[in-house]
Amino acid sequence: AQSVAQPEDQVNVAEGNPLTVKCTYSVSGNPYLFWYVQYPNRGLQFLLKYITGDNLVKGSYGFEAEFNKSQTSFHLKKPSALVSDSALYFCAVRDGGNFNKFYFGSGTKLNVKP
Amino acid sequence: DAGVIQSPRHEVTEMGQEVTLRCKPISGHNSLFWYRQTMMRGLELLIYFNNNVPIDDSGMPEDRFSAKMPNASFSTLKIQPSEPRDSAVYFCASSFRGLAFFGQGTRLTVV
């Protein structure tokens, strides 16, 4: 079965500091991994994805994520956080067999303080 | 393209009433998903369609919930009768080549 886990309900970071939002996954085949962001009263927006290739994936708004197969992790990172990055972040895995079914983590609330 | 369009954005209804949520997916997308988001349970997949055919409805909580996709450009999620515990934000998403795009959601309040 496919699943993702986001161990932190909330991450607090000061503006200008690096941020990391953690995600681990469990898949039966090749992982197709995604990060989405949700701003208040909005739908989820795609940030980045890993399908194959380089382990470091770059996405929107300066975010990047590192795929680590041995640790089954796909942590979201940004070198310098902005207050405007404050939002709810979801990690997701797509079922490789059932091509279009997505499994989302529980979400991590990122708070960036000035 | 305007993206995935959901209506209404907000719905307040009385317990026992029928509620219909609507979704217009992005043109050309062949998969459509309905999700429910609550504080307690997070983001739950209710049902998804591929080429207008329901593929997996195992997430539909009860028989009170039903979803249809009569054509490639329209889907509905119906709750009949509605209950206060159905209060949540309902998202529709469509996907093409494995990337999902979400609508802005319908906030449903059942009083």
- Encode pLDDT of B80-100 as tens digits: 999 999 999 999 999 987 789
- B2-31 pLDDT per residue, tens: 799 999 999 999 999 999 999 999 999 989
Distance from CA of A106 to the nearest CA of B (A): 5
Question: Residues B35-42: contacts with CB within 8 Å, 24+ apart?
Answer: B35/A104, B35/B90, B35/B91, B35/B92, B35/B93, B35/B102, B36/B88, B36/B89, B36/B90, B36/B91, B37/B88, B37/B89, B37/B90, B37/B91, B37/B105, B38/B87, B38/B88, B38/B89, B42/A104, B42/A105, B42/A106, B42/A107
Residue A55 carries which DSSP code? Answer: S
Asked if the C-beta of A90 comes within 8 angstroms of chain B's C-beta atoms, the answer is yes
User: What is the pLDDT of chain A when averaged over all its residues?
Assistant: 92
Q: Which residue has the tokens 């079922």?
A: A95
Q: Which residues of A touch B100 (CB under 8 A)?
A: 34, 44, 46, 102
Q: Report the SS3 class of residue B48.
A: strand
The arithmetic mean of pLDDT across residues B48-56, rounded, is 92
The better pLDDT of the pair A30, A77 is held by A77
The arithmetic mean of pLDDT across residues B23-40, rounded, is 94
Residues 6+ apart with CB under 8 A from B47: B33, B34, B54, B56, B57, B59, B60, B67, B77
Q: Which residues of B touch A43 (CB under 8 A)?
A: 4, 91, 93, 102-105
Q: Report residue B103 as tokens.
A: 């609508």
Whole-angstrom distance, CA of residue B75 vs CA of residue B54: 11
